[in-house]
Amino acid sequence: MTPRLLAPILLTATITPAAIAQHITTEYGIDFVTVGDPGNAPVPPEFFEIFDPQPWGSVGYKYRMARTEVSLGQWNEFVTAYLPHYSGSTVNPGLTGSGLRISFGQVVYNNGFLPEHAANLSWEFAARYCNWLHNGKVNEAWAFENGAYDTSTFFVDENGIAQHQLARHPDAQFWIPNHDEWIKAAHYDPNRYGAGEGGYWIYPNASDEPLIPGLPEDGGETNAGYLTPRTPIGSYPDVQSAWGLLDVSGGVREWTESLRGSDARMRYTRGTAAGDSFPELFDRVDYDQVGLVNSHIRTGLRVATVIPAPPSFVIMCGLSILVNRRSRPRDRVFSCTPICTDQVPAK
């Protein structure tokens, strides 16, 4: 049996710098940390100094979040795999972002961009990326178009009403985190007020003080801030959320799958991007911002995923993938849901 049939393969390590000892799992080259303490309270009303209080941040299950945003190198791999099945314009910033371009059928980096930089992209293509991961990075058209999100819903009807799927499929293996999942991973600390006494930090570095803009060699804590340049992901290893997330401030703003209001084209975004002005405002737990699903401006993706299944189930799942790939029609999408009682994917 080959490793591909058992994908995703889970690797483990321990991280100690964060406020909580972290267990890291790596799938498809993405490091994930577990976000626990299910049933945590939402952000308290007194934290809201800018907008009206909202019941944000409460999540009733365990899940995992990527330690970093999707890198431009990872996004290049996706765009290259998707390109043979793509029939739209090759000048599509939602697909390539600012760092890539398609030249004579090849994906190349734009000047000044490196594979280690954070990628920016549209919500619609973030959904396709999650589908691709969900389907084991199979390089067939169906693997990009369903799995976590049904992309056939990505249209606006004759009445101008967006029909975009509101949330991921219940059995999604990788997805765009919803607003509550993102806020909990970035701002909640299960030991905020002492062992087992959870609470929130105003800023995503386990602090109530704004992060210091600037390069790391100059004492900076984020590349958000006026005229601060892009830096590779992970350039601020000592600046982490309580769960161990890196680059929550800076890099790119991050998509969530959650709607803001009733228009399915408007999704919450969180955090700040490199060079953003006023990170002391935009990085706050109570700050409210939104993006259009087909926009790519300064916004990227931090992937969420399920808690790993027991090893015996991973083997069974690999065998099932082998059987299904040999027997199913090409247009069916196979999904494999872990037997896990402490994770409920979609809300």
pLDDT in tens, 74-124: 999 999 999 999 999 999 999 999 999 999 999 999 999 999 999 999 999
The whole-number pLDDT of residue 347 equals: 47
Phi/psi of residue 299, nearest 5 degrees: -120, 135
The residue type found at 54 is Q
Q: Which of 13-22, 29-38, 89-98 has the lowest mean pLDDT?
A: 13-22
Whether pLDDT at 335 is above 50: no
Whether pLDDT at 135 is above 80: yes
The whole-number pLDDT of residue 253 equals: 97
User: To the nearest whole number, what is the mean pLDDT of the chain?
Assistant: 87
Determine contact, residues 190/235, Cβ cutoff 8 Å: no
Determine contact, residues 301/94, Cβ cutoff 8 Å: no
CATH 3.90.1580.10 correct for 28-327: yes
Determine contact, residues 260/268, Cβ cutoff 8 Å: yes
Residue 54: is it exposed, middle or buried by C-beta count within 10 angstroms (0-12/13-18/19+)?
Answer: middle
Whether pLDDT at 318 is above 90: no
The whole-number pLDDT of residue 20 equals: 55
pLDDT in tens, 142-157: 999 999 999 999 999 9
Determine contact, residues 294/57, Cβ cutoff 8 Å: no
CA 111 – CA 120 distance, rounded (Å): 15
CA 163 – CA 69 distance, rounded (Å): 27
The model carries a pTM of 0.85
Beta-sheet pairing, 30-35 with 266-270: unpaired
Q: What is the mean pLDDT of residues 46-51?
A: 92
Give 256's pLDDT tier (boundaries 50, 70, 90).
Answer: very high
Contacts (Cβ under 8 Å, ≥6 apart) of 123: 176, 255, 257, 267, 291, 292, 293, 294, 295, 299
Question: Which tops the pLDDT comparison, 65 or 309?
Answer: 65
Determine contact, residues 140/114, Cβ cutoff 8 Å: no
The residue type found at 229 is P
Residue 279: is it exposed, middle or buried by C-beta count within 10 angstroms (0-12/13-18/19+)?
Answer: buried
CA 156 – CA 265 distance, rounded (Å): 9
| Number of residues assigned to the chain | 347
Reduce the secondary structure of the chain to three states and give it as a string.
CCHHHHCCCCEEEEECCCCCCEEEEEECCEEEEEECCCCCCCCCHHHCCCCCCCCCCCCCCCEEEECCCCEHHHHHHHHHHHHHHCCCCCCCHHHHCCCEEEECCEEEECCCCCCCCECCCCHHHHHHHHHHHHCCCCCCHHHHHCCCCCHHHCCECCCCCECCCCCCCCCCCEECCCHHHHHHHHHEECCCCCCCCCEECCECCCECCCCCECCHHHCCCECCCCCCCCCCCCCCCCCECCCCCECCCCCCEEEEEEECCCCCCEEEEECCCCCCCCHHHHCCCCCCEEEECCCCCCEECCCEECCCCCHHHHHHHHHHHHHHHHHCCCCCCCCCCCCCCCCCCCC
pLDDT in tens, 173-226: 999 999 999 999 999 999 999 999 999 999 999 999 999 999 999 999 999 998
CA dihedral over 101, 230, 200, 190, signed as positive or negative = positive
Cα of first residue to Cα of last residue in the chain, in angstroms, is: 36
